[in-house]
Structures are given as structure tokens and as C-alpha cells.
Amino acid sequence: MSRSRMAVAALLLPVAAGAVALVGAGAASAVTPYSGNGYVGVTFDQNETRFIADTNAGELLRGLPDRTLHVNLDPESIYHSPGNVVYATVDQLVDESASHGGRVALTVSDPAIWNGVVLTGFQQW
């Protein structure tokens, strides 16, 4: 991914977070942005995670190549499998988090720094 495409992807996260907040998640300041050396991301609270699950917004990431996506599963996730492979879509992971009253986070990374990983998803409950 070129640096310009990386910058566009990084800008999409706050825009998406703002859209979720405006369209219906309901809680003010419920999106928590974070950043560091070569990455930027947002954490969605429980209400926003439920909203993302209800609207199937995770499907927007379906076209991302598998080798560029990394997922950190909650220890209780049903999607744990041997060999560091997750057999689930982003939408399924968001649905699982929401069903447990949990939250999700998305991080866009510079693949030159983070070994080719462009997007990391986190789930926690």
C-alpha cells in the first residue's frame, strides 16, 4: 500500500467513527481515537459496537486481502482455531462482540513498519 493510500485509509477511520456517532449509536464521545508510531485507530464502545453489528457495517471490510488483516480475538471467542487463522468475517467478529456486550477497535497501520499488516481488529468483552 502506498503512503498516499495509507493516509486515505487512516483518514477513513475517524470519518467512519464520526458517522456512527451521528447516525445512531447515541452516546457522545463514545469513540476513542488512538495513535502511535505508524498506526492510527479507534475504539468503539458497547453501544457503537451494537450499532455496527445491527447495520452489518463490518461487511465494508470484506474485500480486504487476508494477508493484510490481523485480528486479536477475545479469549472467549468461538473463532479461535489452531494455526493463527480465523475463519470468520469482520462482521461475524463484531456480531460476536456485540452479543457479549463487548466492544471492538480498528487500527490502520503502515505496512512498511508493521510487517505488511494494514488493518488490525480487536474484540473484547
Instruction: Return the domain boundaries, the chain.
Output: 3-124
pLDDT for the residue numbered 74: 95
Radius of gyration of the chain (CA): 14
In whole angstroms, give the CA distance from residue 39 to residue 30.
20
Tens digit of pLDDT for each residue in 107-124?
999 988 888 878 899 999
Q: pTM (2 decimals)?
A: 0.74
Tens digit of pLDDT for each residue in 73-109?
999 999 998 888 888 888 999 999 999 999 999 999 9
**What one-character DSSP code corresponds to residue 55?**
T
The top-scoring range by mean pLDDT among 6-10, 22-26, 41-45 is 41-45
Number of CB atoms found within 10 A of residue 108's CB: 25
**What one-character DSSP code corresponds to residue 66?**
G
Confidence of residue 60 (pLDDT cuts 50, 70, 90): confident
| Polymer length of the chain | 125
**What one-character DSSP code corresponds to residue 64?**
S
3-state secondary structure of 123: strand
